[in-house]
Amino acid sequence: MPTRTQIPAKRVTSAREVLALNMIRLRAERGWSQEALAFEAELHRTFIAHVERQVRNISLDNVERIAKAFQVPIAELLTPELLEA
Classified as helix, coil or strand, 43 is: coil
CB of residue 59 to a copy of itself, shortest distance in Å: 5
Nearer to a copy of itself, 3 or 12 (CB): 12
For residue 74, give Cα distances in angstroms to 7, 19, 45, 66.
Answer: 28, 10, 20, 8
Q: Which residues bind a copy of itself (CB under 8 A)?
A: 14-16, 18-19, 57-61, 63-64, 67, 73-76, 78-79
The number of angstroms, rounded, from the C-alpha of 38 to the middle of its chain's C-alpha atoms is 14
CB of residue 25 to a copy of itself, shortest distance in Å: 15
